[in-house]
Amino acid sequence: MNREPLRRITDEEVERYRADGAVCLRGLFDRDWIEALARDIEADMAAPGPMVRINTPPGNPGLFFVDFQLWRRWPACRDFALNSPAAAIAAALMGSPTISFYHDHLLVKEPGTLEPTPWHHDQPYYPVDGDQIVSLWLPLDPVARETSVEYVKGSHRWGRWFQPRFFKNATDLAVSDPRFEPVPDIDAARDRYVLLGWTVEPGDCIAFHGLTLHGAPGNASLARRRRAYSTRWLGADARYAERVGQISPPIEGHGLVAGDRMECALFPRVWPRPAA
């Protein structure tokens, strides 16, 4: 498995991440990563963790399966968090001297799944303030543009925070913040926004900022699964922030207090690489 990205992250990619809030990065992870992660994902779906969510109502076709914190339970996911090229990619995109691993999020849409991923952005779900928060969305299957996640270009720079919602039924999480406002209905006005989205292959990843609005359709393909392993990475400016109410994922036991750097056993520093 490659420990460093298979190629250098270009200045143009860094600029796209910073200006657009989302960038597709091609060909950074070798097949061994994809196969090892795919094995862990099958194991997790057979024996999910305590935060699992099934977003498909009984009787609907397909399955929209979501789980978190696989890295705490499965070896390849743990290796990915601690030793994969992802930390170097996050550091390059955010220009941060240090990176800590925050959490992972598995999203599987089996063939024929109807349920969309509602439009949202991630940071309001988290007890994290700061600008250096990036997700790497890693597909384990080829994903066509029409099945892939879409991003509202530049929305990470709107200075707006939207109310977090459960993916299932798009109901609000019980968390409030004076900054929160309802998520705009992007689908009702798609021509008012520039929407970014890509056809992707295993080995690619899409990097997006914690405040970039994104959403995805169901998986209309009847032949292809859509498995994605999405991981969150924090830079040096990220700080623990107390939130009143429900956060997601509900990671407890870290011992951090407001204003702390997001670095502890549960959010390990992974960049620079610890000396061997």
- Which residues form the interface with ligand AKG (CB under 6 A)? 105, 107, 117, 122, 135, 137, 149, 214, 216, 228, 230
Choice between 125 and 267, CB closer to ligand AKG: 125
Q: How far is the CB of 54 from ligand AKG (least distance, A)?
A: 14
CA-to-CA dists, residue 260 to 97, 173, 198, angstroms: 17, 24, 36
Do the Cβ atoms of 148 and 39 come closer than 8 Å?
A: no
Do the Cβ atoms of 119 and 212 come closer than 8 Å?
A: no
| Neighbouring-strand partners of residue 226 | 109
| Half-sphere exposure at residue 125, Cβ-oriented, CA atoms within 13 angstroms | 22
Choice between 201 and 260, CB closer to ligand AKG: 201
Q: How far is the CB of 175 from ligand AKG (least distance, A)?
A: 17
Choice between 160 and 260, CB closer to ligand AKG: 160
Choice between 38 and 260, CB closer to ligand AKG: 38
Choice between 172 and 260, CB closer to ligand AKG: 172
Do the Cβ atoms of 236 and 120 come closer than 8 Å?
A: no
In angstroms, rounded to a whole number, what is the distance separating the alpha carbons of residues 101 and 137? Answer: 14
Choice between 96 and 113, CB closer to ligand AKG: 113
Q: How far is the CB of 231 from ligand AKG (least distance, A)?
A: 9
In angstroms, rounded to a whole number, what is the distance separating the alpha carbons of residues 100 and 178? Answer: 28
Q: How far is the CB of 125 from ligand AKG (least distance, A)?
A: 9
Q: How far is the CB of 272 from ligand AKG (least distance, A)?
A: 26
Cis preceding linkage at 274, omega within 30? no
Q: How far is the CB of 88 from ligand AKG (least distance, A)?
A: 20
Radius of gyration of the chain (CA): 17
Q: How far is the CB of 216 from ligand AKG (least distance, A)?
A: 4
Instruction: Identify the sign of the CA torsion 252, 128, 194, 196.
Output: negative
Choice between 56 and 135, CB closer to ligand AKG: 135
Which one-letter DSSP state was computed for residue 143?
Answer: B
Do the Cβ atoms of 44 and 37 come closer than 8 Å?
A: no
